[in-house]
Amino acid sequence: MASRNKKDICEILCINQKKVNAVRKVMQTDGVIKKLAETFKVLGDPTRTQILYALAQDELCVCDLACLLKKTQSAVSHQLRVLRNLDLVKYRKDGKIAYYSLNDIHIRNLFAEGLEHVKNP
Amino acid sequence: MASRNKKDICEILCINQKKVNAVRKVMQTDGVIKKLAETFKVLGDPTRTQILYALAQDELCVCDLACLLKKTQSAVSHQLRVLRNLDLVKYRKDGKIAYYSLNDIHIRNLFAEGLEHVKNP
DNA sequence: TTAATATATGAACAGATATTCATACGAGGA
DNA sequence: TCCTCGTATGAATATCTGTTCATATATTAA
């Protein structure tokens, strides 16, 4: 263990340097990877998954969603903010009521692919 | 606030009961939603995203991945276990070396859709 | 104005999680 | 056998995150 540095991050020797170099060339940039992971992460919470799936069917207000998902209004509202911040949903105000709807054309495709994965083992 | 129960989860009144009922009919079961969210969640960590993206290009061993991602061998190995447990990757042993590769046909499509979302605002 | 209702939001808390460190295991090589 | 190297893994830790509670804001009705 003596030869290894405290942090063997940079010291790690590749077994197949050529392959690694080739793969490195086609890797996405850190920025893209970060955004990609961010996108998947948002979809990776059951509450948000359900909200988005519901909104993929119809425009709904906050209390409708809360009723549908059997969650508190607060919990739903907090998650809607997350989705709003990422521009995945939009909303229109009708008096006191806020009607939310999908604002991303890729969400449905992602769900379709995801369901394919879940249902076809 | 007097009329509301402590937990207003079940008490919440839907504004558009009909819509909610219609959407409820086409909602996925809790089990499917849970698995769906689980799948997205696994893809929702930058380290795992990179590992999967790299393995989508070529078969690589643990230290190659560590070298490529500039992470410790331990960190990579822990994440590989997560991916293994979900059958997203498989590996073959060649002596001491463990070569990992993709084991899920949907991953590439999910990445494609995800990248579409990231790159087309 | 006052009351009620729909929504938003900050603070606090509990539970999850990614990384690090240390170490164990297993396969060759000396 | 002993040593080295590639990998796996448990424990500890710091950070992140989803929910709850309390409250604020805003709109409508009385």
3-class secondary structure, A100: strand
Nearest in space to A12 (alpha carbons), one of B61, B78, B53:
B61
**Closest residue, chain A, to B7 (C-alpha):** A72
Which class would CATH give A29-119? mainly alpha
- CA B74 to C1' D10 (Å) is 12
- CA A40 to C1' C11 (Å) is 28
CATH code for the part of the protein at B30-119? 1.10.10.10
Which residues does chain A have with pLDDT short of 50?
1-10
DSSP A120: -
Partner-chain contact B66 A12, CB within 8 Å: yes
Q: Encode pLDDT of A2-30 as tens digits.
A: 333 333 444 567 899 999 999 999 999 99
Residue type (1 letter), B108: R
- Strands (DSSP E) found in chain B: 60-61, 89-94, 97-102
Asked whether residue B62 carries a pLDDT value surpassing 90, the answer given is yes
Partner-chain contact B37 A49, CB within 8 Å: yes
- CA A60 to C1' C17 (Å) is 33
- List chain A domain ranges: 29-119
At B14 the pLDDT is 86
Distance from CA of A57 to the nearest CA of B (A): 6
Cβ contact A78 with chain C strand, < 7 A: yes
B3-17: average pLDDT: 57
Backbone angles phi, psi at A57, to 5 degrees: -95, -40
Partner-chain contact A36 B68, CB within 8 Å: no
Instruction: Please state, in angstroms and rounded to a whole number, the distance separating the CA atoms of residues A101 and A121.
Output: 31
Percent above pLDDT 90 for chain B = 86
Distance from CA of A52 to the nearest CA of B (A): 11
Asked whether residue B56 carries a pLDDT value surpassing 90, the answer given is yes
Rg (CA), chain A: 21
Partner-chain contact B53 A27, CB within 8 Å: yes
Instruction: Please state, in angstroms and rounded to a whole number, the distance separating the CA atoms of residues A105 and A107.
Output: 6
Q: Encode pLDDT of B16-41 as tens digits.
A: 999 999 999 999 999 999 999 999 99
Q: For the range B105-109, what are the long-range contacts, defined as Cβ-Cβ under 8 Å and sequence gap of 24 or more? A: B106/A113, B106/A114, B106/A116, B106/A117, B106/A120, B107/A117, B107/B52, B107/B56, B108/B56, B109/A113, B109/A116
At A64 the pLDDT is 96
At A11 the pLDDT is 56
> Could you give the ipTM of this predicted complex?
0.90
**Closest residue, chain B, to A45 (C-alpha):** B37
Chain B residue numbers touching A58 (CB-CB < 8 A) = 19, 22-23
B79-108: average pLDDT: 96
Tokens of A59: 């425009």
Task: Provide the mean pLDDT of chain A.
Answer: 91
Instruction: Please state, in angstroms and rounded to a whole number, the distance separating the CA atoms of residues A112 and B72.
Output: 35
At B8 the pLDDT is 44
